[in-house]
Structure formats: C-alpha cells, structure tokens
Amino acid sequence: MSQFKKYIDLSHPVYPFFIILFFFLLYSSPPLWDPDFWWHANTGRYILEHGRLPDRAIFNFTPPGSNTIRINTLLRGYWLGQVILYKVWETAGISGIIIFRACLLEITLLLLYFFSRKASPAIYLSNLILAGTILFYFTGERPQTIVFPFAVLTFILIRSYIERKSALVLLLPLITFLWGNIHGSILYGQVILLLYAVSILFWNEGIEKKSRALLVSLLILSVLSGFFTPVSFERLVSFIRSQQSVIVRTSIEFYSPLTVMKEFGIYYPSYWILVAGTVLLSFMHFRNIPPSVHLTVTPSLLLSLTGARYMVFFALSTSTLFRTIKDRTGKSIPLVLLLISLILAIPQFSNLAPFNNTIKEDYPIEAVKKIGELGSRRIFTHLEWGGFVAFFAPESEVFIDGRQFSEDVLMEYTLVMAGVEIGKQQEWKQVLDKYHVDAVLLPFYDPATLSPIPLVPKLKKDSDWRVRYQDEYAILFIKDLPRKAHHKTAG
C-alpha cells in the first residue's frame, strides 16, 4: 500500500474530475423510463393550463376512495416539482428531461465532492464513487430527483455555520420551503434538522451561546418552513398512516434492501459497502466525530434499512461523516475501501450510452396513437402504463396509474389482471362492466415478473371484445358501448 501511495498522488484533482465526468455520462445514459414521470408531468400540465392545483382525482374514472388526506397529498403535495418537470418536457422534450436528470444528479455529486474533500483523498474518492453509484439506482425522472441537491445543501449550510459562522445558513428556510413544495422527502429533512437542533442544545460543538441560540432558532424555523405547502401537516399524517397500507406493503421500493436482495436477487453492492465502511469508520473515530454527525448518519442508515427508496439519503448523509476523517484512519483501510469502490464501479461502464434521447422501448407508443384516433375512452391498462396513456391520450381516462388512490380499486385491478373466474362467474368482466370500460391496453408480459398477463387470452376469447391493434410490446382491445356510458366520473 505504501508503494501505491508513493507513485499515485490521490490528492491530484484529475481523479475527482474524471470520476464526476464518468458519472455525468452514466446519468445521461438510461432512456426516459420512470412510469411515475408521466402522471407527475401530466399534473404539471394541468396546473399550468388551469392555473390552480387539482382538487379531484384527475386522469382516472375510478373512485379515489375515502382516504382524503392521502388523496390530497398525492394531488397537491408535489406541485412545484411537477410544474418544473412539465416545463422541461414542454421546452426540450425527451432529451431535455434526460439532460435535466443527469444535471440534477451531477450537481448532487459535485456538492458531495466539495463538501467531503476535507477528508483524506482515499476516503472522499471512495465516498464519491459509492454515492455516485447509488445515485445511479435513482435515475427516475420524478420530483424526488430534484431535491437531492437540497439535501446535500442542507448538510453543507449547517456544517459551514458550525465551523466558520457562514451567513449562508440563512438560506435554510428557503431551501426547506422549496423542498417541501417539490417532494414529500422534506419529512426526512425536517427530522434531520430537529436532530441537529437537539445536538446543538446538548453538545455545543464549540459554538458560543449566542450563535448556538441563533442556529437552533433557524433550524426550528426551517422545519416549520417545510410545512408551508398546500398539504401542510397532512403529508406527515399520510406518511404515518400509509406504513401499514396494502399499497406500501406491495411496492418493491418500500421493501428493505435485505428483502429486495432475498426476494428479487437485487444486491445493491455499493450500498452495502458504504454501510460497512460507515459503520467501521464510525467506530474507529467515534470520539472524534461530532455528535450532530452521528445524529445525522445513524438515523439515515437505519431508515435506509427499512426501505430501498431511502438508500439515497443515507448515501448523501455519509459525506458529513467522511469529511471529518483525515489521514489518521490507518495506512490501509482507506485504500482498501477505494479499491473496492473502483471494482464495484467497473460494471457500470457497460451501461454507458451517453445523451440518450429515447423513451423506454416497451412503452405502448404506437398503441396509444391508435387510442387517440378513437376519441374519448375509458381505458383499463397496466398500472405502470396508466400515467403514460393518460399523458398522451388526454381526452380519455384510465382505470389506475402509479398514484393508486384507492386500495379497493387496486384490489379490483389485481383481480382483472389475473382474469379471475369463480365457476361460471367472470369476475374480471364484471369489474370492467361496472366501470363501463371500453378499451383495454396491455403488455403481453408483466414488466416486473416477465410472466404472461392472464387477462390477454381471456379477452381474445370473449366475443364482446376485439383486437384493434397489436405489436411486439402491446395489444389493444376495444368494446363498443352506447355513447351515454362515456362520461367523466373521477373525483
């Protein structure tokens, strides 16, 4: 290891430059893929066209259910992020969204670099590579991506005030206000701010009394600022209530990384190495790490173990820990961590296809064009296609999309997709008739499991339905109903 350090100066700026450049190219490589992008962008379009936030379950013809707090949070809790996404789409289309996504992730990585570079070079380079790889797991084009830089800025501003009394900390209330109007992860930010306030009150960390009172007051103000949104405290109530809901329990992003690894064979190796490195370095330097850093990283780690969707916030929080670790870690541990990080990053080269300008290929692009020719329709489609169909066929409505307002409707959706029949009773058909569905658009295979969709052969055999269009990705069935059956019932 000493020979390695002798010939390679890890403090040279060329190394972070090439790491950051590589990740920018990587972040611009996936096509536009996130199914939630479409209903987010569609809501942004609605807000701009109508000049107000939605007050009903737009895009769907099924009833939204009775959970008004959750419904209101879904309809109005992301409004600023949704408007931003739609304006980028309207201005620059697919390529604009992909570059926008890459820039957001790249800005996040740059902030991590500037924040953590006080650490020993091997440590901050490892943090940069591992966090950069974890960010690649989160390339979804959704409001959450917009707030990743906000999370790092929050850490930077607080530490900059603690260490050198930077006046930039006064920006914190503005950051949490914007964060709260873009995405619900503001709840994470508010908890972190409260933990910082507790830490400053009980362990002054070298801050004089007057400055400590100012910082704590500012942290509390920033927490409150995050509630100045159209949904206010409803977001917190909705989050607490949702933890035991069917929708959360059946969504893979809410599964713990351990469950995802066991059930789906997805391992997230960079995440686990970062966990191991964080735990090891925390124990080795426990007394030298400020209490506020422990109260930031430890809860973030525990949160990430409860749900894969929270891994990214743990990865961002580790910069607060790693920046405190200088050259006293030992001769080999930082270099071993860097070597493992580099090895884990190598497979990502196979994902490079910079500046992609496409939509994920298995979206039913041509089939939706056919729907547009049919006029207003009530469309039953795959849950992950609901937002896409509603976006490109705005004169029609869909059975369900990624918002999944109602657990009852989700159960009916599952029943129809499975083509359930009890004896001679066609349960799937009864549900379609109940809602006067007159178009069904389906993939031949489920995008998640790759298993055949049971409903497809049922519809092919049913005399009430006929195939209007099909290609290698999708099949469109239509049913002619009396025109009086076509009316909007959403909300």
The pLDDT value recorded for residue 327 is 55
Q: Is the pLDDT of residue 3 over 60?
A: no
pLDDT at 438: 95
Whether residue 91 has pLDDT greater than 70: yes
- 285 pLDDT above the threshold of 50: yes
Q: What digits encode the pLDDT tens for the residues 5-50?
A: 555 677 778 899 999 999 999 999 999 999 999 999 999 999 999 9
Query: Mean pLDDT, the chain, as a whole number?
Result: 91
Q: Rounded to whole angstroms, how far apart are CA atoms 14 and 33?
A: 32
Q: Terminus-to-terminus CA distance in the chain, angstroms?
A: 65
pTM: 0.93
Which residue ranges make up each domain of the chain? 16-351, 365-485
Cα separation, 122 vs 326, in Å, equals 10
Is residue 487 predicted with pLDDT exceeding 70?
A: no
Stretch among 94-98, 248-252, 384-388 having the lowest mean pLDDT: 248-252
Largest interatomic CA distance in the chain: 81
pLDDT at 491: 40
Query: How many whole angstroms separate alpha carbon 169 and alpha carbon 415?
Result: 52
Average pLDDT over residues 195-208: 89
Mean pLDDT, residues 377-402 taken together: 96
pLDDT for position 489: 47
Residues of 256-278 as b/e, b for ≥16 C-beta within 10 angstroms? ebeebbeeeeeebebbbbbbebb
| 324-362 pLDDT per residue, tens | 886 554 557 778 888 899 999 999 989 899 998 899 988
Residues 154-199: tens digit of each pLDDT? 999 999 999 889 999 999 999 999 999 999 999 999 999 999 999 9
